[in-house]
Amino acid sequence: MRGKYSVVWTKMCYTTQKGVEDKNMNQKEQMRKYLEYCEFRKELDKNTLKAYRIDLRQFLVFQAEDGIRDKNKVEEYITELHKKYKPKTIRRKIASMKAYFNYLEEFEFIHDNPFRKIKVKFKESGILPRIIPREEIEQLLNFIYAQEDKRSYKTYRYWLRDVAVIETFFATGARVYEISNIKADCVNLNTGLIKIMGKGKKERYIQIASADILDILKKYYSENLEAIKQCGYFFVNSRGSRYTEQSIRLMIKKYARLAGIERNITPHMFRHSFATYLIEEGVDVSCVQQILGHSSIKTTQIYIHIAARKQAEILRKLHPRNQMNIKRAA
């Protein structure tokens, strides 16, 4: 009898395990179809797709043991995220999952969407975007321009590219992947108009208003014309391929270090600085939103707080009342 029960128990375990494996295989296939849907129907950019893929696979691994993805399992996973990651990362991962479950519900892969019953609230971090002080931007640009060397054609070409990239960052406030992926035919060197492909493949146009910057872009294009035409991208590396995001980050880090700037400068800090200084100069926030390509004005409004902090600092130090001899009553 014991042997009979043992065989039955083994069969039950095998059937349960096989059921979990089949369920996980179905979920992998559903995830694959969802990512295809995001790529071809929603036309999301490659960076967003990469983030979705990472986030969804992470959840798939978490629930792979039993194949369950109900409300309790999702709640358990969200708790694990809070233990491991910062609020910004948690918010992104949960947004990825929520979009995925909405897709599953819409196309009837599931009938009970756990996110219909889950409310997730985040505390605002209160950390303002880091900007580069004006004097350090000036210091960096002056250092780079001082490195111009026409004695070596190869060195001169690379110098032109690097100064053109950094000037474009501060002139447009574009993201690093947007700069890296500018196509050659998206830059009009006659008018100074650049077409930027932003998040979700949303196009926007930004005007290069400085004649000096436009002149640098023209010189760079002229010296790298052949490589640009073959590659198809406006900014190219030494091998004639697209100048990648990581290469751009390393290039900026190198010049900042050589210029004697101790601050860790990243490409995105140029974007923060661009927005903050425009608002400080009185540019309307909705205009800044349009230039930056923000879908929500709330994202842009954070730069108002930075500008307000700077304004308060100026008023504390330079307000004319500070120079007045006011005698207050005791």
The residue annotated as part of the active site, out of 33, 71, 199, 249, is: 199
Buried b (16+ CB within 10 A) or exposed e, 46-84: eebeeebbebbeebbeebeeebebeeebbeebbeebeee
pTM: 0.67
Is residue 321 annotated as part of the catalytic site, yes or no?
no
Coil, strand or helix: which one is 196? Answer: strand
Angle between helices 285-292 and 267-280 (to 10 degrees): 160
Is residue 303 annotated as part of the catalytic site, yes or no?
yes
CATH of domain 2-116: 1.10.150.130
Per-residue pLDDT of the chain (330 residues; tens, 9 = 90+): 455 555 444 544 444 444 444 455 588 899 999 999 998 888 788 888 899 999 999 998 888 766 677 888 888 999 899 889 888 888 889 989 999 999 998 988 888 898 888 887 665 555 678 889 999 999 999 999 999 877 787 889 999 999 999 999 999 999 999 999 999 999 999 999 999 988 877 889 999 989 999 999 999 999 999 999 999 999 999 999 999 999 999 999 999 999 999 999 999 999 999 988 888 888 888 888 888 888 777 777 777 776 666 666 666 776 666 776 766 655
Is residue 199 annotated as part of the catalytic site, yes or no?
yes
Matching fold, domains 2-116 and 134-317: no
Is residue 271 annotated as part of the catalytic site, yes or no?
yes
The residue annotated as part of the active site, out of 69, 93, 242, 271, is: 271
Domain range 134-317, its CATH number among 1.10.3720.10, 1.10.10.10, 1.10.443.10, 1.10.12.10: 1.10.443.10
The residue annotated as part of the active site, out of 157, 268, 305, 310, is: 268
Domain boundaries, the chain: 2-116, 134-317
